[in-house]
Amino acid sequence: MKNNIRDLRAEKQLTQGDLAEAVGVSRQTINAIEKEKFDPSLPTAFRIARLFGRTIEEVFRYEEV
Amino acid sequence: MKNNIRDLRAEKQLTQGDLAEAVGVSRQTINAIEKEKFDPSLPTAFRIARLFGRTIEEVFRYEEV
DNA sequence: GACATTTGTTAAATATTGTTTACATTTGTC
DNA sequence: GACAAATGTAAACAATATTTAACAAATGTC
């Protein structure tokens, strides 16, 4: 799973901590998702996308196995 | 999280077993998601949406807490 | 009504994801 | 270079997703 959270976050000038607070997860969780250590849960993905005013497909890109 | 997998599945005349196989999860997982027992992972949500030719937002509806 | 198919459900076990804590590294500013 | 802010990372744990197996209930067909 790829994502462009880093760019979207930069656009809005939010730190990982800002985003974490807005989304309701820990800063380390945002960091891990951003660094693509693991995928967020579907609810978390929805909250992230919504926060940026984007669809999930615009934020995350799934590459078929 | 709400979803309309049941209707989409009916449109395509797929059984839960058919969908499970196409998506790559167990039939019970499809049943549980369909009955909204729990949310799928993000990759599974992507595969389900893709299979129906829909976006995740068209298949799943997230209601803010 | 017998039969096959589909769906619902439950329990236990496993895998994956999210949180916390703590510390290290990087980056920017003075 | 000192300092603060931001980011990276890791281990332990908590929470959730998924599988497997088994059986019950519903549905459709003959």
For the domain spanning B2-58, the CATH number is 1.10.260.40
* pLDDT recorded at residue B64: 73
Closest Cβ opposite residue B45 in set A42, A47, A55:
A42
pTM of the model: 0.91
Span CA (A62) to C1' (C15), Å: 20
- Return chain B residues 25..54 having CB < 7 Å to nucleic acid strand C: 27-28, 31-32, 34-35, 41, 43
Helices A16-23, A42-51: crossing angle, 10 deg rounding: 120
Nearest to A46 by CA among B50, B4, B2: B2
Express each pLDDT in A13-60 by its tens digit.
999 999 999 999 899 999 999 999 889 999 999 999 999 999 999 999
> Residue range B46-55: average pLDDT?
95
* pLDDT recorded at residue A64: 73
Nearest to A6 by CA among A39, A47, A40, A52: A52
